[in-house]
Amino acid sequence: MDLTFSPEEIAFGEEVRAFIKAELPADVRAKMQAGIELTKDDYVNWQHKLNSRGWLAPGWPVKYGGTGWDVVKRHIYEQEMALGWTPRQMPFGVAMVAPVIIEFGNDAQREYFLPRILSSEDWWCQGYSEPGAGSDLASLSTKAERDGDHYVVNGQKTWITLAQFADWIFCLVRTDPAARKQSGISFLLIDMKTPGVTVRPIVTIDGGREVNEVYFENVRVPVANLVGREGEGWTYAKFLLEHERNGTAGVAGSSQLLERLNAIANSQRVDGGTLLDDDHFAERIANVEIELTALSYTQLRSLAAEQSGKSPGPESSFIKIKGTEIQQSLTELMMDASGYEAFDPAVHSAAWYYNYRKTSIYAGSNEIQRNIIAKRLLGL
């Protein structure tokens, strides 16, 4: 793949930079650079700006509000957004449930939900993991029993990111307990305001409150909120996870981390110079930067295949593994570079380090990704 940008592509990158400079509030940029938790309004206001420009859903078909960009423009856009320290786009609506609704939902679901996702009127969260079903997701026990034109849902989901902000949750639920594990699962859209839904925060090691437990107690969900066919939720879940794993690789986000790492290392005085002048430390940074560049090309090849009509496939597992390893390497280097200042709120390296421990677990742990590669690519 030729990544020598054309004049048009260079101009597009300049357009994105100009948009960020004009539209991103200075206080939000400062929060992003310091690793300070954003409010819901911070995220939603930025998504409103992107939607007004027509840039919120570059991966969607044009007829539903997508941009029609090729993979190179999408790459430039994501890189410029990351290097401009913009708020991360919440993936649960735009990048997760929307592709499932577009691919497997019905016209009524597309007509209702897609515009509300674009307008940020609806904030989504993901209801997959359970206390006894994380990496072994097919063992989930949250059940949905048919009662006329409703399902009655009972169970518990855990590690639900930003559920405290969510209007809707897309859930995997067990609709046929007698079927084999994967065959008895359905994909259900649940209004978080429905009686019987309870959200309880989980405080993480860095003091953050971005993950939650969600409980369902006799929650009545219209059958019209079933996506696709009953019992085929596992197929839709795999489709979603392949897209999620590409996003979890976080190539653009790692570019942010690399910029912050270099800034920290350049501020540390060592033997009359800075930490960047230390050959050993500079070599460690260079090694991670080389790996990040290689991953960027690999992800571009995956996106190019997807644009030609192919599913992301099990190759997304390679990208997820390497991407999360790079994220963790970068935050480890940030800790090393910061030294005793790592716990200073102004530096925030410890918080970055702790937060990124989870990336090798969510979207399917890296151990599970290696199993997928062994089975589906190597035939072992």
CA 71 from centre of chain: 18
244 is catalytic: yes
Give long-range contacts, CB 8 A cutoff, 24+ apart: 10-16. 12/73, 12/76, 12/77, 13/76, 13/80, 16/76, 16/77, 16/80, 16/81, 16/84
β-strands 185-191, 168-174 pairing: antiparallel
- What DSSP character marks residue 88? P
The helix (run of H) or strand (run of E) holding residue 366 is: helix 366-372
Q: Which two tokens stand for residue 346?
A: 């102004």
* Annotated catalytic residue within 130, 210, 242, 244: 244
Is the distance from CB of 190 to CB of 155 less than 8 angstroms? Answer: no
3-state secondary structure of 126: strand
3-state secondary structure of 300: helix
Is the distance from CB of 326 to CB of 366 less than 8 angstroms? Answer: no
Q: Tell me the C-alpha distance between 331 and 257, whole Å.
A: 7
The helix (run of H) or strand (run of E) holding residue 294 is: helix 279-307
Question: Active-site residue numbers?
Answer: 244
